Amino acid sequence: MDSNNDLEALKTRLLADLDACEAASGAGLDDLKAKYLGKKGEIYGLMRGMGALPADQRPVFGAAVNVLRDLAEERLAALEAGAAEAAILEKLSASTLDATLPGTRAEMGHLHPLTLVRDDTIDFFRGMGFELAEAREVDHDFYNFEALNIPPDHPARDMHDTFYVDENVVMRTHTSNTQAHYLVEHEPGPVRILAPGCVYRVDNDASHAPMFQQVECLVVDENITFAHLKGTMLLWAEHVFGKGTRLRIRPSYFPFTEPSAEVDVSCSLCGGSGCRLCKNSGWIEVGGCGSVDPAVFEKVGWDPEKYTGFAFGFGIDRIALLKYGIPNIGLLTRNEVRFLRQF
């Protein structure tokens, strides 16, 4: 066996066949791989013949065969890649698809305006040390009315205001039932809770819905005053509607607070000068508030001589309408994509 001559002759044939295959754009590539790199190929044929060589020649000859094998594998791999790319280009050229055009972006989801307002409210009050509390949406009359000092003959209990499940069970009309549950279920002591959730009332027009979201805040401790309430609400109003927002508190009546008040903020659109949004008054009503009525403490077993507190609540839906200038509350529940895209 003339090993060196055989190796050089094989290398010459290999390079010639590779050049011919490249010129033919990869035609016959599989046959070429089998001819030189297959189990019965010529390169492995040289390796099998090394046993006939003298022992001192085998390492040098083996290394030379390995170099030739690596050369064949490298060139054949390049030819395979080129053939694959050519096949893709041929397929694309026969297609009406223009691969150079930008693709269609998948539209990202949006947070609903109610979710934006709810999350922002929770984050704000948690930052002030409020604990998140929840209660049932279908609740006993005691927690929704009686514990909150709403007597049996109060108009709020009427069928035209309240959804009754049966004589003693209602769909809660406010998140204030959460404070009743919390005070009943906890030992007397400092309280600072935030209660968001859905509430239900027999109502349906452009600014009212039969189901809407509310947030209730309750603070109870010794020596809590109405000034603490006003300061807390002013901080919240400035956070929602911007610095410089003014607060107006008007006397009102709620069975579970005394004194009670309605809360207005200066119109964020006109700054208080008067516009369509505030009906030219310069003020927008946002919720109700007051000092916790001592009768409520008595009904839940807390000492009204020791503890005082305040509570206030507002509708998340209403805040969303005001904050984003939404003209109709029905848009919040219609799943209208054009509307939701704005958020």
Report whether pLDDT(1) > 50: no
Looking at domain 113-340, its CATH class is alpha beta
Q: Kindly report the CA angle at 312 between 154 and 257, in degrees rounded to 5?
A: 45
Query: What is the pLDDT, as a whole number, of residue 216?
Result: 92
DSSP-derived letter for residue 300 is H
Query: What is the mean predicted confidence (pLDDT) over 166-181?
Result: 90
Backbone angles phi, psi at 170, to 5 degrees: -135, 160
pLDDT category at 5 given cuts 50, 70, 90 is: confident
Report whether pLDDT(187) > 80: yes
Query: Which value, in Å, is the radius of gyration of the alpha carbons in the chain?
Result: 40
Helices (runs of H) and strands (runs of E) counted in the chain: 11, 10
Report whether pLDDT(65) > 80: no
Which residues, at least 6 apart from 327, have a Cβ–Cβ distance to it below 8 Å? 206, 321
Report whether pLDDT(324) > 70: yes
- Answer with the residue of higher pLDDT: 43 or 308: 308
Structure tokens that stand for 113 in this block: 């305006």
Distance of alpha carbon 145 from its chain centroid, rounded? 35
pLDDT by residue (tens digit) across 278-314? 788 888 888 899 999 999 999 999 999 999 999 999 8
- Return the domain boundaries, the chain: 3-93, 113-340
CA proximity to 305, closest of 294, 319, 321, 291: 294
- Helices 316-324 and 226-241 cross at an angle (nearest 10°) of 40
How much of the chain, in percent, has pLDDT values that exceed 90?
32
Query: What is the pLDDT, as a whole number, of residue 48?
Result: 73
Distance of alpha carbon 287 from its chain centroid, rounded? 27
Strand partners, 166: 169
Structure tokens that stand for 32 in this block: 């070429």
Q: Measure the CA–CA gap between 304 and 312, rounded to whole angstroms.
A: 19
Query: What is the mean predicted confidence (pLDDT) over 170-181?
Result: 91
- Answer with the residue of higher pLDDT: 332 or 257: 257
Inter-residue contact 249 to 265 (CB < 8 Å): no
Q: Measure the CA–CA gap between 209 and 202, rounded to whole angstroms.
A: 8
- Answer with the residue of higher pLDDT: 55 or 285: 285
